[in-house]
Amino acid sequence: MINTIIFDIGNVLVDFDWDGFMSRKFPGADKNLIAKLDEDVWGSGRWDRLDAGDDPEKVFKSIVDYDPEHESELRKIFADVGETLRSRPATPVWLKELKSRSLPGGSQGENYRLLYLSNYSRYVMKANPEVLDFLPLLDGGVFSCDVKLIKPDPKIYETIAEKYKLIPSECVFIDDLEKNIKAAKNFGFHGIQFLNLKQAQDDLNKFLKESK
């Protein structure tokens, strides 16, 4: 029986709109420039090091060193990166509804445990703290930057399981990236890939009903 639901955050509980952010920061920019800046930031795992807890200044230096010609544009991205994230009004509604459900066959007052497991950096948290205002509705979780591991590294799934004494077969993990779901399943969690809110809610409700 499932007793724990684990959520990714970006593009699951909050919107992560990189393309829209880039369009707003560089209106009318040549598409080749945008593609180059995208590659500067995301290529070869450079941004992943931020999520893994590396020093932000060192991460930024590595990105600029890769493309010093576009340092001014990269500085603008780094300074305003908190704008990539937007709250989803549906998130607290969804979490409160799940928390209100009693576990099938559980003792009275026993509800689902809700956790988060997210690739997230302290730098981005500080840049936009308000977007995480739903965290008190959850029962805890793991940020990649705090454990210096990022999904889909198998060790990060082991870390959350050990921290909360989880039995993997009693947990379902929701993430927007297939590779992260695959790794979670390999560890022993059940998995649902988030494509859109209605689909994820429907899939989760069906799964919880069938796993009673």
112 is in which domain, residue-wise?
A: 4-15+86-210
Residues 101, 78 share a domain: no
Give the model's confidence band at 164: pLDDT under 50 very low, under 70 low, under 90 confident, else very high: very high
Residues 92, 75 share a domain: no
Kindly report the backbone phi and psi dihedral angles of residue 29, in degrees, each rounded to the nearest multiple of 5, phi listed first: -70, 150
Residue 150: both structure tokens together: 């990022």
- Give the pLDDT mean for 141-166: 98
pLDDT of residue 102: 85
Residues 195, 124 share a domain: yes
Euclidean distance between CA atoms 155 and 143, whole angstroms: 13
Residues 116, 70 share a domain: no
Cβ(41)–Cβ(51) below 8 Å: no
Euclidean distance between CA atoms 149 and 107, whole angstroms: 36
pLDDT of residue 122: 96
Give 186-209 pLDDT, tens digit per residue. 999 999 999 999 999 999 999 999
- Give the pLDDT mean for 89-99: 97
Give 1-41 pLDDT, tens digit per residue. 899 999 999 999 999 999 999 999 999 999 999 999 999 99
pLDDT of residue 110: 81
Cβ(134)–Cβ(92) below 8 Å: yes
- Give the pLDDT mean for 67-78: 96
Give the model's confidence band at 147: pLDDT under 50 very low, under 70 low, under 90 confident, else very high: very high
pLDDT of residue 109: 63
- Give Cα 103 to chain centroid, integer Å: 26
Residues 160, 80 share a domain: no
pLDDT of residue 106: 60
Q: What percent of the chain has pLDDT over 90?
A: 91
Residues 108, 76 share a domain: no
**Residue 88: C-alpha distances to residues 78, 112, 150 (Å):** 23, 21, 24
pLDDT of residue 43: 87
Give 112-139 pLDDT, tens digit per residue. 999 999 999 999 999 999 999 999 999 9
Among 84, 102, 123, give the residue marking a domain's end: 84
Among 84, 102, 134, give the residue marking a domain's end: 84
Residues 204, 143 share a domain: yes
- Count CB-CB contacts under 10 A for residue 199: 12
Residues 72, 100 share a domain: no
> How many residues are recorded in the chain?
212
Q: Is the pLDDT of residue 108 over 60?
A: no
Domain count, the chain: 2
Q: Give the long-range contacts of residues 159-167, CB within 8 A, separation 24 or more.
A: 160/6, 160/115, 160/117, 161/187, 164/4, 164/113, 164/115, 164/140, 166/4
- Give the pLDDT mean for 141-170: 98
Kindly report the backbone phi and psi dihedral angles of residue 100, in degrees, each rounded to the nearest multiple of 5, phi listed first: -80, -10
Residues 189, 118 share a domain: yes
Instruction: HSE, CB side, 13 Å, CA atoms: give it for residue 166.
Output: 30
Residues 122, 66 share a domain: no
Whether residue 129 has a cis bond before it, omega within 30° of 0: no
pLDDT of residue 165: 98
For residue 190, give the CATH number of its domain. 3.40.50.1000
Residues 94, 134 share a domain: yes
Q: Is the pLDDT of residue 163 over 60?
A: yes
Residues 202, 106 share a domain: yes
Among 84, 110, 132, give the residue marking a domain's end: 84
Model-level pTM?
Answer: 0.95
Average pLDDT, the chain: 95
